[in-house]
Each structure stands twice: as C-alpha cells, then as structure tokens.
Amino acid sequence: MDSSLDEFYMRRCLQLAKLGAGNVAPNPMVGAVLVHEGRIIGEGYHQLYGHAHAEVNCVRSVRPEDQALIPHATMYVSLEPCAHYGKTPPCAELIVARKIGTVVIGCVDTFSQVSGRGIAILEDAGITVRTHVLEAACRQLNERFFTFHEQQRPYIILKWAQSAAGYMAAADGSPLRISNSLTDRLVHRWRSEEMGILVGTNTAVADNPRLNNRYWTGKDPVRIVIDRTLKTPRHYHLWSGAAPTLFITAEAATQEGVTETVTADFEQPLLPQLMRLLHERRILSVLVEGGPYVLNAFIEAGLWDEARVIIGSHSLPDGVQSPVLPPSLLTGETLLDGDRILYYRNRKEGRV
C-alpha cells in the first residue's frame, strides 16, 4: 500500500476529529474514513460525549447503494478502535461485524481499557491492520486525553494578558483592560474547549469573574477556585450556581447545587493534591487564568503543557509583574487586531 495514500486519508481523519473539540471530553477526538478503490464512501467523527463514536458514524454515513462495498473497503481511523463497553458498544466489534477487510490506525490508545485490545480483536478476526500512520499528529490531537491517562493529571494550559512592558495589573492589584474585544472572544473559545478553568483567591476577590463562556458557542468549563479561607464574597458570580464550581479550601466540605467546597491540606504541597482531585473527577484539561502567584506556582513546579500569553495594545507601564517564560519554549505568535498572542509549549514533562 502506498504510504502517502495512507497519510492522505489519515489527514482527513484528523480534520474530521477536530470538529468534536470541546464536545467529547473526557473521551478523545476521533475521525474515521471508509475508502473503496480510491473513493471515500463514508466519513464520521465522535460528535458528542456519550453518543456514537467515529467508526459508527462513519459506517452509518455510507449510502444505501454503497453498502455492499463496505467489506471490500479500508477504514482509516485516527485512534485505535475501542474494545470495551462504555457509553457505547466496542467499535472494534462493529468493524468485525461489518467484515471490513483492512483498518489503518493513526495511534494506539494507551487508555488501560483499550491499549492494544482493539487491534487484537481486529487481527484475531483476520483483518489486516496497519498502525502508526501520522502517529505524532494523531497523538498531539489528543494530548489532553493521553496526558490524563498516562500522567494521571489534567492537561494544563496557562493563560494571561500583559502589557508590552510586562505588567498584568495595576500596582495596587486592581484589574485593567489589557486585551481587545476580539481577543476576548478568542479567550472564550479557549474556555469552550477545556473542561476546567482555574483561578486563585486574589483573582476571585479582585475581579469578581464569571469564568464562563459568553462570547463563543459551546459549554461552560467547570470553575475551580483555590480559596483557602473562602474569602470570595458570597454575592460574587462564582457562588451563583450558574456553572459547576469547586472551591478548593481548608474549610469543611459542603455542596449546594453545582457548587462545592472541597477540603485540601494547605500545610502540604497543594498542586499534587489538586491534580489527584481533578483526575478523580475526570477533568481532562484546565485553563489556568489566575494571577501571578498561581501562575508562577504552576511554572515553578514544571506543571504545565501550554501557555498562551496575550500582549495587549493597551498601555500599562507599571504594575504587577507578569510571569516570564524562557524564550526557547516559544513555538508561535499571532496578531489579532493589535494584540500579540504568544504560544509556548513546555518541553519538559510536568511533575507533581
């Protein structure tokens, strides 16, 4: 088989998979394509958590006049087909039942309930399996999923806005508008793509933030507030019950609707406790929008995967110093109506 053709169809799988961003977690994003003699006869992707997987949607999309071609077609799928009964039946068994002769897989699923078992089911049924096609791109697409299952922690994205002079708030700590309205929309898109959003006490008290998604389509993230003594005033937005909210505190655990206080031991290192807690709650990714104290705590622990730094066009010549990341970790830069957005990746694995 021509490897360039395998890569061509796998790229289409990746395009499809990305359409599920923000809607499938804690499941991975997956795309699937069914090809017969150079013609795509079916396509699908995992659209919504708890609903049909990519392979199912791909087979369902095949037109009636092409149904007889399915056993003679090749299925391309960006992630190893699942082998266990979860919200839906195993996709590997569906492929066997439909007698698809060849399956090309982007990357192996390291989730313990799959991890090679899907491939084994296919091969035991006599299906030809090719793997590791555009593997790096397929893994990168689901970095959140793989980080969660391989490191037992959420995927961490740091985000802050700062002035060109390197300040993120006025000298007295009061918030100031730094970024523009278009960048605000982008930030809310980022919120829609992650399962959680986190701030510390200072940000919660000074900003009275909503931490929701108002300027983009999609769901709100789970709000996570590190607030040792529950200083956040009870009339603030974070207590409103408008979105699931966790207050990480030294106070007693309580629950009222979708708002919880969760007790942690602040005499011990907090971030390892927080990672375990969020892993137990199956929160795969967290956007950290805190102030410099919280952001620097994650940076000093090496506990971050990406950082997105907005350098606003609004002037702030003095004030609260922003965190500083090594220039060697910078991977890209974009401009949005005068705001610069810098993208960083932590090439060292975070340790907790």
CB 200 within 8 A of CB 290: yes
The amino acid present at 4, given as its one-letter code, is S
Instruction: Please list the residues that pair with 294 across neighbouring strands.
Output: none
* 65 tagged catalytic: no
The residue from 37, 43, 55, 349 that is catalytic is 55
Q: Token pair for residue 160?
A: 């802050």
Cβ neighbours for 338, distance < 8 A, ≥ 6 positions apart: 180, 313
Q: Does residue 148 contact residue 303 with C-beta atoms inside 8 Å?
A: no
Active site residues: 55
